[in-house]
């Protein structure tokens, strides 16, 4: 029964979601796996990347300016924590 619903019925996101989040959900729930959004595409979607903290931003393998900023941010947070 659930399988039949998934295959035949349309999904309507709640009215209170943003247009960008609705678009992302629609792509994630695409029935055809060949057309479905991939994880790298999700990570690059405007909804996902908006206000993303530095430590979650995608970085390449080389130490970049982004990596240095993240390292500095982590050091700043760690320096404020007391280990008792």
What pTM, to 2 d.p., does this model score?
0.58
Cβ neighbours for 28, distance < 8 A, ≥ 6 positions apart: 36, 37, 42
Is 29 in a helix, a strand, or coil? coil
Residue-wise pLDDT tens digits, 27-76: 999 888 899 999 989 988 999 888 888 777 755 444 555 556 667 777 77
Q: Which domains does the chain have, with CATH numbers?
A: 1-52 (1.10.510.10), 56-84 (no CATH)
């Amino acid at each position: 029964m659930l399988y039949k619903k998934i295959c035949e019925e349309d999904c309507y996101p709640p009215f209170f979601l943003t247009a960008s989040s609705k678009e992302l959900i629609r792509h994630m729930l695409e029935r055809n796996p060949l057309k479905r959004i991939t994880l790298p595409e999700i990570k690059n979607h405007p909804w996902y990347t908006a206000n993303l903290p530095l430590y979650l931003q995608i970085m390449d393998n080389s130490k970049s300016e982004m990596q240095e900023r993240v390292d500095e941010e982590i050091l700043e947070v760690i320096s404020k924590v007391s280990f008792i």
